[in-house]
Structure formats: C-alpha cells, structure tokens
Amino acid sequence: MTSRLRPGDGTIVTIERFILEQERDYPDATGTLTNVLYDMALAAKIISSHTTRAGLAQILGSTGEQNVQGEEVQKLDAFAERTIFRLNDHTGRLAVMASEEIDNPIPIPPQFATGKYVLVYDPLDGSSNIDYNVSVGTIFAIHRRKSAEGPGTLDDCLQPGRDLVAAGYIIYGSSTIMVYSTGQGVHGFTLDPHIGEFLLSHPDIRIPAKPKYYSANQGYERHWTEGVRRFTQDLQGDNEQKQALSLRYIGSLVADFHRNLLAGGIFYYPADSQDPRKPQGKLRLVYEAAPLAFLAEQAGGYASDGQRRILDIRPERLHQRVPLYIGSRSLVEKAEDYIRRYDAVPAAQ
Ligand code: P6P
C-alpha cells in the first residue's frame, strides 16, 4: 500500500502520525496495535540513547551471565531486554511476551490486565558486536493471541509468520532507523535525536529488482552443502550472465538485512553440517527469521529455509533455529533451486 504521506515535500511526518494515518484504513481498529507500535518506538528511543553512549555509560562488556542460547549476555542487551519488558508488561495490550534472552514465554505480571496481542522480540541482536561499535538491532513481531483469555500461552508464541499482525526492527547505527510493517507495505523512520522523534524517511520500501550484494559468512563455507557452495559460486559470477555480486557481511543480522532490503541482495545463514550447535544454522525462527521474512515479503522479496517459505513454518520450540535465505526473491529462489538440484535428500524408500 502506498502511503499518502511523503517526506521531502515539506511535510514532517512522525512515526506516531504515520501509524495513526494507517490505522484509519481499519475502521474497526481499536488503537491497541497502534499503541503497541508506539511502545516499541519509545523502547527504541531509550535503547538508542544508551547504544550511542555505551562507552560513556560504563555498560560496555558482559554481565558475566549466559542466556538461553549459551551466549554471553552483554550489559546493553540486558538493558534492552529490561526496557522492552517494562514498557509492555503493564499496558493491558499483551497476553504474553517472548524474548531471545529468556528461556520461556514471559507472563504478564498477575497484577496487570492481559490483552489481545503477543509480542516476541530479540532485544539486541548482534550484541557481540557492541564492543566494536558495529551496528546492532532490535527485532520484534506481533501476533494476535490464540488463547481465549487470561495469561497467554507458549502456543500463542508458536504461530507461523504468515499469521503475523506486524513486524519490525530498529537498527542502531550511524543513525537509528525503525522499519516496520502492519501488512500495508514497509516504512522506515529515522530518529532525530535532537527532538526525540522518528521521522518518515523511507516510505514504501521495495527491494530493488536488480540485486547488488550477497551476505554470508564464508568462513564456514567448508561446512556448507554442495548446493549452497555452488549457489555461492554463482553469486560470484559463475553464471550465464557472468554477473557477480559484491560481498558485504557485517555479522549483525539487522544491519546485513537492512542493507539488502534497501539495495537489493540476499543474506543467508545456511545449515552447518559440521557444527553440532548449528545443524539448522544459527538464527532463530520465531523472533529473527519470521519477522524479517514478513518484512521481506511486504517489500516484494522472499525468505526461505532453503526448501520451505519461512512464513509457512509453524514453530515447534520457542528458540528453534532455522537456515535462512532472505532478500531479493530471484536470489532466494535460485538458492532453493541449487539446494533442490544438489542437496535433495532422496525420499525414504
Ligand atoms: P556469525 C549475531 O551474533 C548473530 O546472531 C546475527 O546478528 C548475525 O547475523 C549472526 O549471528 C552472525 O553469525 O556466525 O557469522 O558470526
């Protein structure tokens, strides 16, 4: 859907005004989803204010704890986790939350009312890059609850991405940009830190037809299957058109995804047959792959696990990992084709 509000022609459009404008297209909207998106924008401002002064706020480095993933918890992602929880636990808008940092679904404290939405999120993805001043990001997704009433359930959090109501991310980089979709296209807002407002800067994002980049950690190439290795060679120019893409890999999912969303390209994190920690790759389905897949498809792209559409995969576990190929549809489908031709596991006889 093309937004009626455009930057640059003198209009200054805040994210709050834009969300309200979009809400008008849903006459039966109650404003609850609008307010959850406001809450995520506020969380983004608070987290951004800390990421830009992490070194000064003495919150660099690790807490010394490990999260459910077995990863060191950086102080900044603990801060991000607390910020998102505290902004959402008492609003009466959510039935339950789930976070990359927390083993199980996060119940709404009993003293607060529950609501009709479910918020799943990675509070600070790429946090291992914090100490090197590399862009990091927050990823979030919003489902309608399936359970009737009262405390939300694990099942509320394990819904396929195709049922998402909204998804988005915030990238904390040279500027802080919030990108989201409610199924009416993908729109980006850049934070003006002087006035504390997210201003519409990227309306109606569409992935360019002609891709420019591919993003993959080729340090693991020896662990990839033949199909994925052949696909990578194709991207490097071993194809009929002799067309090669440039390699850009930051090692921070939100930053790598954001660049491919705007410039055209593919990010992939394949299954890793040699690493028992990552037989299904490293990235998580519920709060990384599915939200970004929702955005990619809203922007004209596509996302797959190499064989199945990400949005069609029904999660079985909260922290389930999944191979991820995401970005320009032509490239993701090419990856699926190579995997089908060279890696297909023969059907059981
Ligand atoms: P690797 C960051 O730790 C992260 O979860 C994603 O943000 C990023 O895409 C990926 O891991 C990088 O993993 O194995 O290439 O360092």
Q: Are residues 190 and 223 in the same domain?
A: no
Among the three residues 150, 180, 202, which one is the final residue of a domain in this structure? 202
Is residue 120 over pLDDT 70?
A: yes
Q: Are residues 218 and 255 in the same domain?
A: yes
Residue nearest to atom 5 of ligand 1 (CA): 126
Q: Are residues 146 and 94 in the same domain?
A: yes
**Predicted structure pTM score:** 0.93
37 lies in a domain? yes
Residue nearest to atom 4 of ligand 1 (CA): 126
Q: Which helix or strand (DSSP H or E) is residue 338 part of?
A: helix 329-342
Q: Are residues 263 and 185 in the same domain?
A: no
Is residue 337 over pLDDT 60?
A: yes
- Rounded to whole angstroms, the Cα distance separating 20 from 15 reads 8
Name 194's Cβ contacts closer than 8 Å, sequence gap at least 6.
none
154 lies in a domain? yes
Q: Which atom of ligand 1 is nearest to the CA of 278?
A: 14
Determine the length of the chain: 349
Q: What is the CATH number of the domain that holds 175?
A: 3.30.540.10
Q: Are residues 236 and 97 in the same domain?
A: no
Interhelix angle 226-235/329-342, nearest 10 degrees: 140
Instruction: State pLDDT tens for residues 21-36.
Output: 888 888 887 789 999 9
In the block, residue with structure tokens 């998804």: 167
From the CB of residue 312, how many other CB atoms can be counted at a distance below 10 Å? 12
Share of the chain above pLDDT 70, in %: 92
Order of strands across the sheet that contains 187-192: 106-107, 94-99, 117-125, 136-144, 166-172, 176-181, 187-192, 197-202
Q: Are residues 263 and 172 in the same domain?
A: no
2 lies in a domain? no
- Rounded to whole angstroms, the Cα distance separating 303 from 162 reads 12
Domain that holds residue 114: 15-202
| Contact indicator for 188, 177 with CB cutoff of 8 Å | yes
Q: Are residues 194 and 118 in the same domain?
A: yes
- Rounded to whole angstroms, the Cα distance separating 343 from 195 reads 53
312 to 172, 225, 305, 307: CA distances (angstroms): 29, 23, 10, 11
Question: 126: CA distance to ligand 1 center in Å?
Answer: 6
Q: Are residues 116 and 191 in the same domain?
A: yes
From the CB of residue 199, how many other CB atoms can be counted at a distance below 10 Å? 17
Question: 25: CA distance to ligand 1 center in Å?
Answer: 38
Is residue 323 over pLDDT 90?
A: yes
Given this model, what pLDDT does residue 138 score? 98
Neighbouring C-alpha atoms within 13 Å toward the C-beta of 298 = 28
- Rounded to whole angstroms, the Cα distance separating 183 from 187 reads 11
| Contact indicator for 171, 264 with CB cutoff of 8 Å | no
Confidence of residue 4 (pLDDT cuts 50, 70, 90): low
Residue among 122, 222, 252, 278 to mutate when testing ligand 1 (max atoms within 8 A of CB): 252
Instruction: State pLDDT tens for residues 172-204.
Output: 999 999 999 999 999 999 999 999 999 999 999
Residue nearest to atom 9 of ligand 1 (CA): 253
- Rounded to whole angstroms, the Cα distance separating 61 from 59 reads 6
4 lies in a domain? no
Q: Which atom of ligand 1 is nearest to the CA of 217?
A: 15
Give ligand 1 pocket residues (Cβ under 6 A): 125-126, 128, 217, 251-253, 256, 282
Position 62: which residue type? S
Task: Give mean pLDDT, residues 229-244.
Answer: 94
| Contact indicator for 142, 118 with CB cutoff of 8 Å | yes
Residue among 124, 253, 278 to mutate when testing ligand 1 (max atoms within 8 A of CB): 253
Question: 251: CA distance to ligand 1 center in Å?
Answer: 5
Structure tokens at 76: 């900044």
115 lies in a domain? yes
Question: 272: CA distance to ligand 1 center in Å?
Answer: 13
Question: 283: CA distance to ligand 1 center in Å?
Answer: 8
Among the three residues 202, 222, 249, which one is the final residue of a domain in this structure? 202
Q: Are residues 44 and 186 in the same domain?
A: yes
Q: Are residues 56 and 196 in the same domain?
A: yes
Confidence of residue 98 (pLDDT cuts 50, 70, 90): very high
* Alpha-carbon 148 to chain mean position: 28
Q: What is the CATH number of the domain that holds 266?
A: 3.40.190.80
Residue nearest to atom 2 of ligand 1 (CA): 126
- Rounded to whole angstroms, the Cα distance separating 75 from 56 reads 13
What total of structural domains would you count in the chain?
2
5 lies in a domain? no
Share of the chain above pLDDT 90, in %: 75
From the CB of residue 317, how many other CB atoms can be counted at a distance below 10 Å? 11
Among the three residues 138, 167, 202, which one is the final residue of a domain in this structure? 202
Structure tokens at 319: 């922290």
Confidence of residue 8 (pLDDT cuts 50, 70, 90): low
277 lies in a domain? yes
Which DSSP state fits 289? I
Residue among 121, 221, 269 to mutate when testing ligand 1 (max atoms within 8 A of CB): 269
207 lies in a domain? no
Q: Are residues 137 and 223 in the same domain?
A: no
Residue among 100, 282, 288, 324 to mutate when testing ligand 1 (max atoms within 8 A of CB): 282
Q: Are residues 217 and 193 in the same domain?
A: no
